[in-house]
């Protein structure tokens, strides 16, 4: 980065700053969702925004997710840039038709005549003891649909830069925020910058094994890397940042360099994001791999409420550490 002031912001503050700067820059950008105005969302991510932008641009809706998401699609097709707020990622199930059959396909079906520059912000992640209908990580579903782009920031810095890119993109973009990360702090530059989609970021360099991790799992991977360092294993942590478009090149190069890869994601392991990424690495780095690519994701169960049960379903630093140690045949 050039010489700009950098301060520590939380993830929530970084998201808010990106939205506010974009709304100041572009009068067609507006926010729509449940309890986004005075309440500033239940996680207080949007606190203060209605005070600055007023109720015509920070709009509270009824609890009608398919309705206001559909309105977002139509508004995006006709000159506005909506940022639709779906309070919990679990409620994506309600808006799937609007996203999958409408937003994702309008551009293609119209032969490029119409476009849908809409962002849908929502959450992923368990660990809040919120049980099966408020804890899911459903980003794999959306990554599966041509026409949608899917963004998974893991730091405040990435959140701000990626959200700005999302708002300026002419396609429907689904932006997932980990509920457990809203209060996590990190350095964020003052003012404008964007991060291109499809560009992975090496969060930690290493030599012996690559850990590809998304969103909530990046911190888990970094924690595991620290543990591995103590037993002499040097782990590289790679964050794809967007599952679609996917930066295949960086993932493959990292695996070629280290010769081993673990793919870590909080969505379900079965048929999940880890499967696609592991396949990309297994194919692209085949001749350089010393071990089969290992996938670690959520257990194949609805997320349970009880703390010991919930903890058993989500990947931990220890699980990643053990898997890496076994792959590197140490200890």
Ligand X SMILES: Cc1ncc(C[n+]2csc(CCOP(=O)(O)OP(=O)(O)O)c2C)c(N)n1
Q: Which residues are catalytic?
A: 134
Give the single-character DSSP code of 291: S
- Given ligand X, another protein, none, residue 129, with its beta carbon under 5 to 8 Å by kind, binds another protein
Taking residues 129 to 168 in sequence order and writing x for each that binds another protein by CB under 8 A, - otherwise, the string is xxxxxx----------------------------------
Q: Is the peptide bond before 277 cis (omega within 30 degrees of 0)?
A: no
**Residue 198 interacting with another protein (CB under 8 A):** no
Q: For another protein, which is the closer residue by CB, 62 or 112? A: 62
Q: Which of residues 302, 318, 326, 331 is near another protein by CB under 8 A? A: 302
Q: Which of residues 13, 17, 34, 158 is near ligand X by CB under 6 A? A: 34
| Cα separation, 37 vs 53, whole angstroms | 10
- Given ligand X, another protein, none, residue 308, with its beta carbon under 5 to 8 Å by kind, binds another protein
Q: Which of 260, 208, 190, 247 is nearest to 13 (CA)?
A: 190
β-bridge mates for residue 20, sequence order: none
Q: For ligand X, which is the closer residue by CB, 94 or 96? A: 94
**Residue 43 interacting with ligand X (CB under 6 A):** no
**Residue 208 interacting with ligand X (CB under 6 A):** no
**Span from 54-62, 172-180, 200-208, 262-270 in contact with another protein (CB under 8 A):** 54-62
CB 150 within 8 A of CB 139: yes
Count the helices and strands in the chain (H runs, E runs): 12, 14
Taking residues 57 to 96 in sequence order and writing x for each that binds ligand X by CB under 6 A, - otherwise, the string is ------x-x---------------------x---x--x--
- Given another protein, ligand X, none, residue 299, with its beta carbon under 5 to 8 Å by kind, binds another protein
CB 94 within 8 A of CB 122: no
β-bridge mates for residue 204, sequence order: 237
CB 218 within 8 A of CB 186: no
Q: Which of 4, 9, 45, 5 is nearest to 186 (CA)?
A: 9
**Residue 309 interacting with another protein (CB under 8 A):** yes
Q: Cβ neighbours of residue 3 under 8 Å, at least 6 residues apart?
A: none
Q: Where are the alpha helices (DSSP H) in 155-272?
A: 156-168, 217-230, 248-258
Residues that bind ligand X (CB under 6 A): 34, 63, 65, 87, 91, 94
Residues that bind another protein (CB under 8 A): 34-35, 37-39, 42, 60-64, 66-67, 90-91, 94, 128-134, 299-302, 304-309, 312-313
């Amino acid at each position: 980065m050039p010489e700009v002031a950098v301060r520590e912001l939380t993830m929530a503050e970084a998201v808010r700053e990106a939205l506010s700067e974009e709304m100041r820059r572009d009068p067609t950008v507006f926010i729509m969702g449940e309890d986004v105005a005075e309440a500033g969302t239940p996680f207080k991510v949007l606190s203060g925004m209605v005070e600055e932008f007023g109720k015509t641009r920070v709009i509270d809706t009824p609890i009608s997710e398919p309705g206001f998401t559909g309105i977002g699609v139509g508004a995006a097709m006709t000159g506005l840039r909506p940022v639709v707020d779906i309070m919990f990622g679990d409620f994506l199930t309600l808006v799937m038709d609007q996203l999958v059959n409408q937003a994702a396909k309008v551009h293609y079906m119209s032969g490029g005549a119409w476009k849908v520059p809409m962002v849908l912000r929502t959450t992923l992640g368990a660990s809040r003891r919120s049980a099966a209908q408020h804890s899911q990580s459903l980003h794999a579903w959306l990554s599966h649909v041509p026409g949608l782009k899917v963004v998974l920031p893991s730091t405040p810095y990435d959140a701000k830069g990626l959200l700005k890119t999302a708002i300026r993109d002419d396609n429907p973009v689904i932006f997932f925020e980990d509920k457990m990360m809203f209060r996590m702090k990190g350095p964020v530059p003052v003012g404008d910058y964007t991060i291109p989609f499809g560009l992975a970021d090496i969060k930690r360099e290493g030599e012996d094994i690559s850990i590809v991790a998304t969103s909530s799992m990046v911190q888990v991977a970094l924690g595991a890397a620290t543990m591995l360092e103590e037993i002499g294993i040097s782990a590289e942590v790679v964050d794809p940042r967007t599952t679609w478009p996917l930066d295949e090149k960086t993932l493959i190069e990292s695996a070629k360099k280290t010769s081993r890869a673990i793919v870590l994601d909080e969505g379900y392991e079965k048929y999940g994001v880890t499967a696609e990424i592991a396949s990309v690495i297994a194919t692209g780095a085949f001749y350089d791999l010393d071990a089969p690519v290992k996938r670690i994701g959520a257990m194949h169960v609805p997320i349970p409420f009880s703390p010991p049960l919930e903890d058993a379903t989500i990947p931990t630093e220890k699980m990643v550490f053990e898997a890496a140690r076994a792959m590197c045949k140490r200890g």
